[in-house]
Structure 1
C-alpha cells in the first residue's frame, strides 16, 4: 500500500515536472502571431538564390552587438551568409559598438546621436553620424570577408578612391558607383574584384559619414543591426520619421526585428504613449516597405536598486554595500501594452519578459547594473530568439509539405 502511494506520488511529481519543463521550453521558444511571417519563410526557402535583408532595431541591448550577433550567426548558419550588413564607426564616434569589425582613421571625428539634446539635423539611417570640417579624409573598414561596401555620406564633388591594401594584391582595382541620394546623403557603392578582409577609402571631400553596408556577394541573410544607447521609439520617430524612413529606403528589409522598450520602462512612459510611438514608427515603415514583416521582442524585466546597506568587514577600514534590487514595475505594463498592440495588428512577437522567468540561466545573465546583460546573457537571448524563429519556420515547412 505504502509502495503504491509512493509510486503514485512519484508519478504525479514526474508529470508535474515534465509538464512544467515542457511549458517553460515552449515559453522560451514560442513566436506569437507567426502566421504574419509566412512570406518571409517563403523567401528563406530561396536562400541559395536570393539575399534576404533583416533589420534588427533597438537600443543599447543592440548597439553592443552581442545580442544581434547571436541571432545573426544562428540564422546565417541555417540560411546562408550574405555579409555583415550595417556597419558604423562607433569607435570613431566615441562610443561602444560590436567587436567583430572596426573602422579606423588618421583624422579626429565628432559623434552625434539621435538621443543627444538639441540635435538640429537628421543623424542618418543609423541614428548616429560622425562629422568633421569638410575636406579630404581617410576611412578604413576591417571585419568579416567583404566584397562590396555601400556608403552614405555628405561632402563635396568627387567619389572616394578605394583599395584593399597590400595584403590583398589580387583584389585588383575597386569599382566605384554613385547611387541615388538618400535624404541629404550621397550613396556610393565600392566593389572589389574578390572578397577581402578590409577596404581603405580616400574621400576627396567629406563632412559627414553616416555608415555603410558590407556584402560578400553571396546569397543568404544580410543581417543589419542598428542600436543606440538610450534609444526609445520616440527617438526613431524624430525628424518627421526620416530616420526610420531612410532605413526602409536603403536597407529594404524583408523582416524587421524591433527590440525597444527598456528605456521607456525606466523613463516612466505610459502605455498610451508607447502605443502612440509604436504606431508612428509602424506607419512610416509600412508605407515605405509594405511587404516587410515584423517581430517585436518584449522588454526584459529590468532591475533597479531598492536599497544599499553599508557594512564593514572585520579588520577592514573600507565600507562595503549590500545592494538589493527589485523589478521595474513599468516594464510589466509596457510589455502588456506591446503584446496587446501586436495582437490587434497581427504582428509577431517574442516574449523575452516571460522567457526570462521560465529560464533559470538568466539568473547569471545580468551585468553589474542589473539593467544591461553580460555577454553570456545577450548571447542567451540571441540564441533563444533565433531558435524561436527557426522552430516557427520548421513548423510552417512541415505544414506546407503535408499533402
Structure 2
C-alpha cells in the first residue's frame, strides 16, 4: 500500500481503522458525506454486555480501547477522532500506549515525540528483522547514556498522568521522568529477556522528558500514559504503515501478555488494505490465519470485546474501464472473508466499505475531497467522516446493544 509523502499534515492520510458489530452494513448506501447507513447487531459479541456496563460506569473506572492496524491507524486521524468523541462523552482517561521514540510516517493526535540526533536507533517490524519486537512492532535502542525522549502535548493540557515504560533490560538500569517541576527516578530491574512495564511515575504533567541512565542491554518498546484519575476512556493506537495482520507474527512471543497488561475492554482489529493489494493472496489461507488469530486473542483476552473492521474501498488501477477492474483484485472477496470469520468467531464487525457506499465508492469520496489522490488513503476530513459514522454506530451498540 502506498505511503503518503510530504510533511506531517500529509501523514494524516495514513490510517486503517473502524469498528462495529458483526452483521453491520452489507448493502451499499448513498453518497458518503450525505447519508450514513444504519447498522445493527445480530450474532452478539459475548463480551458486549460487560462492555456496556463499563461505559455506564466510566465516571468510576477507566475504559481501555486498543486498536491494531496499518497506515489507516498509524496516522491517528481516524482513531484520533474516535478518541476525541469517546473522551468528550465519557471522560479523558489518558493518551494510552505509544511508541518510545518518533516513527517516520506515524503520529499521535494528542502528543508529539522528539529526540536528539544520534541518541536512539529505531527498528521497525514493517521492514526490518529482530527477535525483540514488542507489542506494536517498534523497538527503540539507546545509543548513548542518558538518551532522552521529549513528549510535547498537542494542544497544551493541564492533565496529570501516570507514566510507565515498556522495557527489556539485561542488567539494572534507571528511568528518569521530569516535567519541569519534579524529577522522579524508577529502577528498571533485569527482565530476563521479557518485556515488562516499569514501576509507574504518578502525577506528572506534559511536556515531560524521559531518559535512561545507561544504554547497555536496554531496549524500549513504548510508554503508557494514563490520566492520574482512573476514569474515562484511554484509546491506544498501534499502527504500522504497510502492515498486514501477519505483522504480529514478527513480535516476540509474549506480546499478548503486554496487551493484557493494557487491560483492553475493547480491541479493534483494523487490517485488510494491504492484504487486498496482494494479487497473490491465498484467500483460503488468509481465512485460516484470521480465524486462528481471533481465536488466540479470544483465549488471551477472555473478557475483552473484539471488533473486526472490514477494509475500506480503494482503487489499484483507477484508469481501468470497469469498477471491478479498478479495485484491487482481492478486495471484494477479502471483505467477505473478514465478515464471515467475524460472524463465525462472534466478534463485532463494521464494514467500512459499506459505510462509504459500496464498491468503487472511493471515487465519490475523492470527488468530494474526502480521499487522497491515491484512491487508497483519506484526508483528515475523510477520516473524520468515517470516524463520526463509526462512533454513532458504537454509541448505539453501547447504549442499546442493537
Q: TM-score, normalised by structure 1?
A: 0.79
Runs of at least 5 residues in structure 2 that lack an aligned partner in the other structure: 1-28
Change in CA separation of 1:240 and 1:74 when aligned onto 2, cut-off 3 Å: same
Instruction: Work out the CA distance in 2 between the residues paired with 1:341 and 1:391.
Output: 23
Which of 254, 260, 279 is equivalent to 1:249? 260
1:214 aligns with 2:219: no
Give 1:35 deviation, angstroms: 4.9
1:169-318 alignment to 2 at 5 Å? 169=181, 172-174=182-184, 176=186, 181=191, 184-192=194-202, 194-206=203-215, 207-218=218-229, 219-239=231-251, 242-243=254-255, 245-268=256-279, 269-307=281-319
**Map of 1:332 onto structure 2:** 332
Instruction: Work out the CA distance in 1 between the residues paired with 2:188 and 2:399.
Output: 41
Q: TM-score, normalised by structure 2?
A: 0.79
Q: Secondary structure at the match of 2:397?
A: helix
Give 1:224 deviation, angstroms: 0.8
Give 1:274 deviation, angstroms: 1.9
1:392 aligns with 2:397: yes
Q: Number of aligned pairs?
A: 354
**Map of 1:3 onto structure 2:** none
CA RMSD of the aligned region, Å? 3.0
Give 1:99 deviation, angstroms: 4.4
Larger Cα-atom Rg? 1
Runs of at least 5 residues in structure 1 that lack an aligned partner in the other structure: 1-18, 309-324
Change in CA separation of 1:195 and 1:90 when aligned onto 2, cut-off 3 Å: closer
Q: Which has the higher contact order (CA 8 A, sep 6+)?
A: 2
* Range with greater deviation from structure 2 (274-283 or 39-48): 274-283
Q: Secondary structure at the match of 2:206?
A: strand
Contact 2:308 2:350 in 1 (8 A): yes
Deviations 1:327-364 (A, max 9, x none): 22311101001111111121110111111116865643
* Range with greater deviation from structure 2 (181-190 or 64-73): 181-190
Instruction: Work out the CA distance in 2 between the residues paired with 1:177 and 1:390.
Output: 42
Which of 112, 127, 152 is equivalent to 2:137? 127
Q: Choose between structure 1 and 2: higher strand proportion.
A: 1
Give 1:246 deviation, angstroms: 3.9
Instruction: Work out the CA distance in 1 between the residues paired with 2:140 and 2:260.
Output: 21
**Map of 2:111 onto structure 1:** 101
**Map of 1:66 onto structure 2:** 77
Change in CA separation of 1:58 and 1:205 when aligned onto 2, cut-off 3 Å: same
Instruction: Work out the CA distance in 1 between the residues paired with 2:189 and 2:89.
Output: 32
